[in-house]
Structure 1
């Protein structure tokens, strides 16, 4: 699948979600205790019946969707090797000093079945970063995955492997009734899938300066696994576990999988 197909996938979801009428909706809210007013802007058909300012009766089920920017995940990546966080000898080349995970959704389409339950499909992007301990360089266009050791005299200060995925999660979300302050407790779970866009390795050394290499590096072309989010109002915690291997067509890396967790905003 090429970049054109990825963009068409996102555009299709956005088109369906907006019901062919990507309208800009302004909502005015009024606080009962003050006379202050606030406005919010959304593109497409929005799911905002939980606002106190909306008094009309709502019928279910109802659909919503469109272009968005939400569910911003920022946290850590941990590699699990056969169920252990200690990497085996075959996978020591992926030992890392620090690791992180970052992602967000840009389009969504869903159906709300009741005030407390909805289902939605969204599309976005996700990145994983591993700052490696060892001075190695992954070989391009090589299967199974392989690498060479770099010259220590070059004095490498940076060695980062990055995976970039188009993510397509299917979510089931439950929420409590409105609390006294108008906010809610939320729980979402479902299946997180991803299509590989690219792999990148960035190097920095005194001898060679900054270097950047792009290849798929045998990273899993299609990843999948369960996820869960729990939060209060717009802030929460997330955890995702990818059930297939980090690398494909690499028998020695069988069982090397990615676990991510951290904070989510816009939940």
Structure 2
């Protein structure tokens, strides 16, 4: 294979030198739309070079063909070996000769797509930069044929997309995403609160009205090699928790105790809720798997968070004499300031679910209902 490729580039060098001389006059007065050079090798293989214009054709002489020939043969051999041991029928490898030896006019990028060898065919596609391409095909008799040009087949277009995704994955060890979570809140592990006047009303929530909203930035740092599926996720988040009571009850702070009180003045509450806002810092270990085209598939994350309560308030909405009334009152409501807990995510493709468990009590000890908060829902952005 090395000898055939060497023959190809030596013939190209000779032909290009003659072509530049023979067409010098013609090229100065008109633009050549498409040029083709066909070279027959002694082993009956045919090499075809197709370019869009003469300027593109002249660029070929800028390459150091002797050095490129040896490199290209090594790259193709490596691609063929990789294809035989791969679990997929197609493998794409990328090489950057110009970065390895700058200043020698080598191609910026060589992309090789090879298929697993079968009884009838083993095909290797080689792309030099984004302009010139070489297709090496081996038939069942071991004869190789070479075709150089612009890849336009569906397989070649797919290989280009795969290569772009892989390049983006490998070059970014750390990336960031905007995160938006929408979900619901629930109280768990709730115990009866005993006040000086007796047991307090239980805090039963309206699930559909106890909403959870969270947004922020997630920074993802890869752990391991360039294709490692494991990473660390962290970033600042801002969360809003609503705890809407069921029935005709309201949140009341009396004598340093926050409790649920049933309304006795004849008002019928449409909404009666306690709201909080907090800033949190989650840290999670994340597993992100990908398919053979390097698209995201199954993902899972698990870790913990710490946070601080920024503000809390109550809201009431009711109707009096046909008029809708609203009341809002700010206060601490004896809620814990420092927050901590565990959280996790699980998803596939563009769909991801989250769950979050506050290990701290919602209220200070003996100052409100003894319960923890669970939040769960759908992650709209950030997956």
TM-score by length of 1: 0.67
Distance in 1 (alpha carbons) for counterparts of 2:257 and 2:171: 51
Query: Does 1:81 pair with 2:189?
Result: yes
Please give the per-residue CA displacement for 1:111-170, whole angstroms capped at 9, x wherever unaligned: 212430111321121112122124324228x63434655443233222121121112111
Between 1 and 2, higher relative CO (CA 8 Å, sep ≥ 6) is seen in 1
Question: CA 1:179–1:199 in 2, change beyond 3 Å: closer, same or farther?
Answer: farther
Greater share of helix residues, 1 or 2? Answer: 2
| Residue 88 (structure 1) shift | 3.5
Q: Which residue of 1 aligns with 2:204?
A: 95
Please give the per-residue CA displacement for 1:183-203, whole angstroms capped at 9, x wherever unaligned: 321011110222101112111
Greater share of strand residues, 1 or 2? Answer: 1
Question: CA 1:80–1:55 in 2, change beyond 3 Å: closer, same or farther?
Answer: closer
Q: Which residue of 1 aligns with 2:335?
A: 219
Query: Does 1:129 pair with 2:129?
Result: no
Gaps of 5+ in 2: 1-152, 194-198
| Residue 92 (structure 1) shift | 3.1
| Secondary structure of the structure 2 residue equivalent to 1:53 | helix
| Residue 55 (structure 1) shift | 5.2
Contact residue 246 and residue 257 of structure 1 kept, 8 A: yes
Query: Does 1:263 pair with 2:263?
Result: no
| Secondary structure of the structure 1 residue equivalent to 2:334 | coil
Distance in 2 (alpha carbons) for counterparts of 1:169 and 1:163: 18
Please give the per-residue CA displacement for 1:168-225, whole angstroms capped at 9, x wherever unaligned: 1111111113355823210111102221011121111223711111112112211111
Q: Which residue of 2 aligns with 1:53?
A: 164
| Secondary structure of the structure 2 residue equivalent to 1:101 | strand
| Secondary structure of the structure 1 residue equivalent to 2:201 | helix
Contact residue 218 and residue 250 of structure 1 kept, 8 A: no
Q: Which residue of 2 aligns with 1:41?
A: none
Question: CA 1:55–1:148 in 2, change beyond 3 Å: closer, same or farther?
Answer: closer
Contact residue 139 and residue 148 of structure 1 kept, 8 A: no
Which residues in structure 2 correspond to 1:194-233 (within 5 Å)? Answer: 194-207=307-320, 209-233=325-349
Q: 2:215 aligns with which of 99, 104, 109?
A: 104
Contact residue 193 and residue 225 of structure 1 kept, 8 A: yes
Question: CA 1:152–1:126 in 2, change beyond 3 Å: closer, same or farther?
Answer: same
Distance in 1 (alpha carbons) for counterparts of 2:172 and 2:294: 26
Q: 2:358 aligns with which of 213, 229, 242?
A: 242
Gaps of 5+ in 1: 1-31, 37-49
Question: CA 1:175–1:206 in 2, change beyond 3 Å: closer, same or farther?
Answer: same
Distance in 2 (alpha carbons) for counterparts of 1:79 and 1:126: 17
Q: Which residue of 2 aligns with 1:164?
A: 277
| Secondary structure of the structure 2 residue equivalent to 1:96 | coil
Distance in 2 (alpha carbons) for counterparts of 1:69 and 1:103: 11
Question: CA 1:52–1:164 in 2, change beyond 3 Å: closer, same or farther?
Answer: farther
Q: Paired residues, what number?
A: 213
Question: CA 1:235–1:244 in 2, change beyond 3 Å: closer, same or farther?
Answer: same
